[in-house]
Amino acid sequence: MRFPIKKFFSYYKPYRGLFLSVLACALLVSAVTLAFPLLVRYITKHVLEEDLSQALGKVYWIGGLMLVLAAVQNLGSYFVDYKGHEVGARMESDMRSELFAHMQKLSFDFYDKEKTGRLMSRLTNDLLLISELYHHGPEDYVRSLSRFFGALAILFFIDAPLTLVVLCFFPILVFFALYFNKKLNKALAGNKERIADVNAQAEDSLSGIRVVQSFAGERMEIEKFERENSRFLESRKQTYRAEALFYNSFEMLLQLITITVVIFGSAQIVRHKLDLADLITFLLYIGYMIEPIQRMTHMSTQLQEGVTGFQRFMEIMKLKPSIASKPDAAVLARVNGDIEFRRVSFHYEDRKTHVLNDLSLRIRPGEYVALVGPSGAGKTTLCSLIPRFYDATAGEVRLDGTDVRDLELESLRKNIGIVQQDVYLFAGTVMENLRYGNPAATDEEIIAAAVKANAHEFIMGLPQGYRSEIGQRGVKLSGGQKQRLSIARVFLKNPPIVIMDEATSALDNESEDIVKRSLESLAEGRTTIVIAHRLSTIRGAQRILVLTEDGLAEEGTHDELIARGGVYAQLYAKQF
Ligand code: ADP
Ligand code: MG
């Protein structure tokens, strides 16, 4: 992928003023820093060498000036450090919100492919790296380059031959820095992979802690974790070795330069080509030239990481949701609930075989239809085409006579309620979870919905009633309780169409009974599709559709299908 430079810089836009003032400030700080040794040189070379009776007065003046400069330098640095980082952080936060909002829109097919953990790291780690680059990138370059060339110019001005001697060391220095930097980067990349493994291991063990403890598998989990943890330690040891070697060898080189300058400079002094004050100034400026090199090599890492982070960010930002409203899509009011499949075929992106093949069927407004058939026949898939979780690969799905692809997506989905086998509840209170069905609902409406879903009684039995926290994914509730909350949520949404996909399959007989009653009352007055493999639950259906891997095998009432002695009759015989 080519680097999207335009897009990269577009994030600076809202903060242009602040950012430019940070850069200007960085330049000012560099200039002031460079001025310090010059003032010292002026004192030692001129003031203290001339009329000593006047010297002290001048030194006071220069000292005062230095004090002012020091104040300017540190205030400037404060501004650069604080506001510069803030600019980076703000850009990061903008990008994070943008990315999250974009992820919310991406369709089911995207989430079929991506791992949540990876997406999390895009939202956090990658963006952190980018914000470091956004702030430090330009500012560090300005600071380092201005220091380096400023110091070089001053050194030439003081003594050209000595400067040339020092310059001989720089190719070695740069080569050395680049070489070690490469090594360090590799070590750091290794670190990142190892810590990701540690995280993955911990996440897996901790989210499965209930399984772990029920199998008494703690020891095994500890061993697995320790293996990853010690691999991480090993990789960090290597990094620190490389780091220590790098910094100390660099220091050594620096000392070598200093020693050379001392010897060479002294020789110059002996030859009366240089004076003591100049030599001291010279030594002071050498540090000013080395530090930028150290910083720039460090920065090349940051640059690399930031750029890859940005590319990864863009990879997702560039994805278009495979399912979205057309620009001219009609906003749907409350539908009657007339659902029609016209010669619909469908296969998942990663599979060649069709789940649905040239299937046609019609469900009338207010009808109560059951969909049965062996596991894997495509019942869930079929239903997921109605709210457009996926789009048919051929044919069309029509709602009240309009192709669902011509309807505005949000209004379409508002018309359809789904109760599934595994309920997803959000961490939070009972009230918050129910309100998800209709954010505008009053407390009274929420309670009324809970009553209809047979959930009110058990909710009142919780320690804080509707204000009780249900724990992550609702761990503090039983399966039947969770299902009744999810039904109450659909009551609040009040859609004209409901799909119940194996809603009672995971429940024991007792909770199944109560949930079944909740579902029956939810179905009243709505077009309803019930998917169930326990045939006892669908005997009351007006029509039963039998779906097999070869398509729609038969349809009719329970009695008709039994009389027919086909697939349904066989399934029924197997179960009873
Ligand atoms: P049913 O609900 O009748 O048990 P499904 O509609 O869930 O059947 O699945 C039909 C087929 O599609 C199965 O072979 C299943 O493995 C496959 N399938 C289901 N969901 C996906 C998916 N997200 N990606 C790829 N294949 C899928
Ligand atoms: Mg299913």
Q: What is the extent of the structural domain holding 425?
A: 339-575
> Given the CA of residue 377, which atom of ligand 1 is nearest to it?
3
For ligand 1, the distance from its centroid to the CA atom of residue 375, given in whole angstroms, is 9
- Is 434 in the same domain as 565? yes
Q: Residues with Cβ within 5 Å of ion ligand 2?
A: 380
| 382 CA distance to ligand 1 middle (Å) | 10
Cβ atoms within 10 A of the Cβ of 140, count?
20
User: Which residue, 509, 511, 502, 519, is CA-closest to 453?
Assistant: 519
User: Both 453 and 306 in a single domain?
Assistant: no
Of 306, 269, 281, the closest CA to residue 137 belongs to 306
Does residue 228 have a pLDDT over 80?
yes
pLDDT exceeds cutoff 80 at 236: yes
Neighbouring CB atoms inside 10 A of 374's CB total 14
Residue 125 DSSP label: I
- Rounded to two decimals, what is the model's pTM? 0.83
Distance CA 43, CA 493 (A): 81
Kindly give the distance from the C-alpha atom of residue 374 to the centroid of ligand 2, in angstroms, as a whole number.
9
98 and 131 share a domain? yes
pLDDT band at 355 (very low <50, low <70, confident <90, very high): very high
For residue 487, the model assigns a pLDDT of: 95
Distance CA 137, CA 130 (A): 10
pLDDT value, residue 1: 60
pLDDT above 70 for 145: yes
Boundary of a domain, candidates 318, 350, 374? 318
Instruction: Pick the closest to residue 34 from 170, 149, 171 (CA basis).
Output: 149
Q: Are residues 297 and 370 in the same domain?
A: no
Which one of the ligands is nearest to 347 CA? 1
CA distance linking residue 33 with residue 341, whole number of Å: 76
Distance (Å, whole) CA 492 – CA 438: 6
Same domain, 358 and 429: yes
Residue 166: pLDDT over 80: yes
Angstrom distance (rounded) from CA 438 to CA 257: 73
Which among 106, 140, 138, 141 is positioned nearest to 122, based on CA atoms?
Answer: 106
Rounded mean pLDDT, 503-528: 88
Share of the chain above pLDDT 90, in %: 53
Shortest-distance Cα residue to atom 14 of ligand 1: 376
Do 545 and 491 reside in the same domain of the chain? yes
Decide if 186 is inside a domain.
no
Q: Are 393 and 355 in contact (CB under 8 A)?
A: no
What's the gap in Å between 380 CA and the centre of ligand 2?
4
Within a domain: 535: yes
Domain check: are 406 and 513 in the same one? yes
Distance 83 CA to ligand 2 centre (A): 54
Q: Which range, 92-101, 114-123, 168-177, 466-475, has the best average confidence (pLDDT)?
A: 92-101
Q: Is residue 448 part of a domain?
A: yes
In a domain, 503, yes or no: yes
Q: Is 189 part of a structural domain of the chain? A: no
pLDDT of residue 288: 85
Of 257, 289, 318, the one marking the end of a domain is: 318
d(CA 376, ligand 1 centre) in Å: 6
Number of domains the chain is built from: 2
Q: How confident is the model at residue 294 (pLDDT cuts 50, 70, 90)?
A: confident
Beta-ladder partners of 547: 552
Longest alpha-carbon distance in the chain: 125
Burial class (CB in 10 A: 0-12, 13-18, 19+), 243: middle
Given a cut of 80, whether residue 536 has pLDDT beyond it is no
297 and 431 inside one domain: no
494 torsion bin: left (phi>0), alpha (psi -120 to 50), beta (else): left
Q: Does residue 24 sit in the same domain as residue 83? A: yes
Residue 97 in domain: yes
CATH of the domain at 118: 1.20.1560.10
- Ligand nearest, relative to CA of residue 355: 1
Residues sharing a CB contact under 8 Å with residue 463, sequence separation 6 or more, in sequence order: none
Mutate-to-test residue for ligand 1 from 108, 380, 505, highest number of ligand atoms within 8 A of CB:
380
Residue 179 inside a domain? The answer is no
Residues 491 and 426 in one domain: yes
Assess contact for 295 and 145: CB atoms under 8 A. no
Using the 3D structure, point to which of 257, 286, 318 is the last residue of a domain.
318
Predicted pLDDT of residue 192: 81
Q: How far apart are the C-alpha atoms of 116 and 427, rounded to whole Å?
A: 17
Q: Is the domain of 400 the same as that of 507?
A: yes
CATH number of the domain where residue 368 is located: 3.40.50.300
Cα distances (Å, whole numbers) of residue 549 to 214, 374, 376, 377, 379: 37, 8, 8, 5, 10
The pLDDT value recorded for residue 486 is: 94
Residue nearest to atom 5 of ligand 1 (CA): 378
Average pLDDT over residues 56-74: 93
Q: What is the dihedral of CA 48, 51, 57, 60, to 10 degrees?
A: -10
269 occurs within a structural domain: no
Ligand having the closest approach to the CA of 547: 1
Radius of gyration in angstroms for the set of CA atoms belonging to the chain, rounded to a whole number: 36
Average pLDDT estimate for 547-574: 90
Ligand 1 pocket (Cβ < 6 Å) reads 112, 348, 350-351, 355, 375-381
Nearest atom in ligand 1 to 378's CA: 6
Tell me, what's the ipTM? 0.98
The ligand whose atoms approach the alpha carbon of 502 most closely is 2
Mean pLDDT across 454-472: 92
Say if residue 15's pLDDT is above 90: yes
* 139/280 same-domain check: yes
- What percent of the chain clears pLDDT 70, i.e. is strictly above it? 100
Q: What is the pLDDT of residue 384?
A: 96
Q: pLDDT category, 512, cuts 50, 70, 90?
A: confident
Phi, psi for residue 102 in degrees, rounded to 5: -65, -45
The residue whose CA is least distant from atom 18 of ligand 1 is 348
